[in-house]
Chain A
Amino acid sequence: MTDSRTSDLETADLETFRNETRAWLEANCPLEMRKPATSDADVFWGGRNAKFSSEPQRIWFERMRDKGWTVPDWPKEYGGGGLSAAEHKVLRAEMAKIGARPPLSSFGIWMLGPALLKYGNDAQKKEHLPKIAAGEIRWCQGYSEPNAGSDLASLQTRAESDGDDFVITGQKIWTSYANYADWIFCLVRTDPAAKKHDGISFILFDMTSKGVSTKPILLISGYSPFCETFFDGVRVPKSHVVGTVNRGWDVAKYLLQHERAMISGMGERGVGRPLGQIAADSVGSDALGRLDDAMLRGQIASFDVDEAALAACAERAVDLAKAGQAHPAFSSAMKYYGTELNKRRYEILMSAGGVDALEWESERSKQGARPRAWLRTKANSIEGGTSEVMLGIVAKRILDLPGA
């Protein structure tokens, strides 16, 4: 009964693609890259100063880059793989099947790229997209400010016109990896007199520009993945504005949809082994193979139900988008659920680990990998827009509730 839906030809082509992809991955994905990254060092972020943490990481990255599969669905002319949505889904599924890591992680891929593809001009796309695909330039996101968090549109960083340039002065905060990034995509106020959403521009510049400085902030996890970022009269050509001057809010919102979709994926991203097995190692099992902690077992099972359901919903979200039936605010719904679920995952992991999950500094604990990861997940429901803000967006834009 499924036949008339996609033409037989398409189905056959897709099957061929699946088989070829499977064989290629089997031959080219190093075994070491077939398990989830457990620390930030395991993640390859690219950039001018990038270093590979291992030889397999380099091999995997280069092979995938050469196929355009760091960004499989981007057009080939920009260094992408040119895959259709259906092919991309197949690639993702095949990678998931062998547990293959993403070869390259970057804000360029997740956030800036999609925004440039939609709002960038030709020159901007040609300049920036291939370098993102090849992992040559690492980007950071300059949105939040000390007084503009959830209420992002109240941002105050000023960009004043001076001939062909803007001169930028102000402060950003929570700028992830600003101290490692090569370039920044940044929201600045270009018209202080306009209403708050109407005077914002979306602009790109090099982090080595004169007047840019960063200061790392220490997180509760003990790491410093983000910074305060200061701009003191930074000169940026006006040609670096993406989209129209003063219409940057459109670009900013569009980018946020992609950011949220990416963050919501955390809910599906496991830790390599099923929670039930991880828990069995520490709490033990009875003669029937059931965890020796009935309440924990129940929590894990409920979690597994929700995780599987979320995965189905994420798959459906992609399919809906492909069918042109997706609601643009749906990524907020997914972001809310995915991040709350990921926090639940780590609460369970901490509970399952018991005393062993409390060590902060030791070889045995891989320098406290688990408690640090647990604490890091608490930011999931804050970064990219808080859970409360996500629910507000759903209430207003999807449910159309009054005054939301």
Chain B
Amino acid sequence: MALVLTEEQSMLRDSARGLISDKAPVSHLRHLRDSKDPTGFSKEFWQSFAEMGFAGLLVPEEFGGSGLGYVEAGVVMEEIGRTLMPSPFLATSVVAASALNRGGNAAQKSEYLPKIASGSLLATLAIDEGAKHRPLQTSLQALRAGNGFKLSGAKALVVDGHVADLFIVAARTAGSAGERDGLTLFLVNPKAKGVAIERTIMVDAHNAARIEFANVEVTADSVLGEVDQAASLLDGVLDIGGGAVAAEMVGLSDEVFGRTVEYLKSRKQFGKLIGEFQALQHRAAELYVDIEITRAAVMKALQALDADVVKAASAVAVAKARAGTTATRAVQEGVQMHGGMGMTDQFDIGFFMKRARVCEELFGDANYHTEQLARARGY
């Protein structure tokens, strides 16, 4: 398939861009941060997002969604990256919807997917426990109790954790940390007894939470997929999440870069536009090349996910690794080339730097994905 957007995808991009840049420019994030907004995003805007079909973008049509693919989800993520709009789109519409759609039984799908599509249910995956993304290190325990299970342990970096209506919790039902066997996914009600949620105010002013589970009882019905065998379901879901975040990072990088190039064309020092200095020109050109190469790698990964999630792991590893190094470079050059202005809170560039740092950690950073590629290639 051609590595360019189709006409339909371009139209989707234009409508997402129009909506997001109009209703949620960077000042929207700034306002949410400064007012210490308790929700962390605009519910009103999320509703109109849902009405346009974005909330259910990946949800099959039979469950009230648009039944589109990961390339389309990436198109929306890229636009989100341009204005850093806080939105349940990633956690609910991409990650949770994919987990439910790929792993859910008929009852689970028909209960949750229509609500995701209509924008009325927020869901999120609770996976990370330690400082770094290490899915196989999951050690939150699920002990069998009667017909169900009891969950005990803690999760970190649960996106939208304090506002979600549904948690998808990765737990260990057998084996020990590091093993592929023995992982199970559970659908957990955040209001269940024993769940303690602490909203964590993050550097990027986006939603995240730490969650403790103290003997939280769940029924056998709440298992998503197979007991002990969640690793391969998780592989796919995490690759989908990684691909989506990589797309957000492309949007973010491109936006920072665009703003920086504009600055080079307007700021004068030494009687010249600073964009005339070759030292800056060459760095800007290198960054441009980096972004274009990363953009292609991310598209490739999203297409690979559309073709077959199970076979997309290496393409996603390449994409997320590239997106991490490229975004890091883009925001650093962005601040540097803005001189003192780049250091001020009043100026938007810093917001991009902060969000890029969080995106790096989401679903594994560049080192993690580079390591995955090395393992996949057997050296």
Residues of A within 8 A of B (CB): 1-2, 4-5, 274, 276-277, 279-280, 285, 289-291, 297-298, 300-302, 304-306, 308-310, 312-313, 315-316, 319-320, 322-323, 325, 330, 333, 336-337, 388, 390-392, 394-395, 398-404
B307's nearest neighbour on chain A, judged by CB, is A2
Q: Is B273 an interface residue (CB 8 A)?
A: yes
CB neighbours of A388 from chain B (8 A): 282
Chain A residues, CB < 8 A from B377: 274, 276, 304
Q: Is the interface of B mostly helix, strand, loop or mixed?
A: helix
With contacts A313-B296, A319-B2 taken as known, whether A402 is within 8 angstroms of B273 at the C-beta atoms is yes
Q: What are some 15 contacts across the A-B interface (CB < 8 A)?
A: A1-B72, A2-B1, A5-B7, A276-B379, A277-B378, A301-B374, A302-B321, A310-B293, A392-B282, A394-B285, A395-B281, A395-B284, A398-B285, A401-B276, A404-B278
B346 within 8 A of A: no
Pick the contact of A313: B69, B264, B293 (CB < 8 A): B293
User: Are A309 and B297 within 8 A (Cβ)?
Assistant: yes
B: number of interface residues (CB 8 Å): 50
Chain B residues within CB distance 8 Å of chain A:
1-4, 6-8, 67-69, 72, 261, 264-265, 272-273, 275-276, 278, 281-282, 284-286, 288-289, 292-297, 299-300, 306, 314-315, 317-319, 321-322, 369-371, 373-374, 377-379
Contact at A274–B379, with CB atoms within 8 Å? yes
**Told that A309-B318, A399-B281 touch, could you supply 16 new A-B pairs with CB distance under 8 A?**
A1-B72, A1-B306, A276-B379, A297-B374, A304-B374, A305-B321, A306-B293, A309-B322, A312-B3, A315-B300, A316-B299, A391-B281, A392-B281, A395-B284, A400-B265, A402-B275
CB < 8 Å neighbour of A399 from B67, B261, B371 = B261
A-side contacts of B289, CB under 8 Å = 333, 336-337, 394
CA distance A73 to B300 in the complex (A): 25
> Which of B7, B67, B276, B288 makes the CB contact (< 8 A) with A394?
B288
Query: In the docked arrangement, what's the CA distance between A321 and B340, Å?
Result: 40
B72: min CB distance to chain A, Å: 8
Partner pick for B296 among A2, A297, A309, CB 8 A cutoff = A309
Given known contacts A274-B379, A301-B373, A304-B374, A333 and B288 CB-to-CB distance under 8 angstroms: yes
List of A residues within 8 angstroms of B371 by Cβ? 301
Given the known interface contacts A274-B379, A315-B296, A399-B284, the answer about A305 and B370 at a Cβ–Cβ threshold of 8 Å is yes
- Determine the distance from Cα of A280 to Cα of B377 in the docked complex, in whole angstroms: 12
Which residues on the A side are within 8 Å of B299 (C-beta)? 312, 316
Q: Which residue of B lies closest to A337 (CB)?
A: B289
Query: A402's contact among B1, B6, B276, by CB below 8 Å, is which?
Result: B276
Check A403 against B293 for contact (C-beta < 8 Å): no
Most chain B C-beta atoms within 10 Å of own C-beta, residue among A276, A320, A394, A400: A394
**Contact residues in B for A337 (Cβ distance below 8 Å):** 289, 293
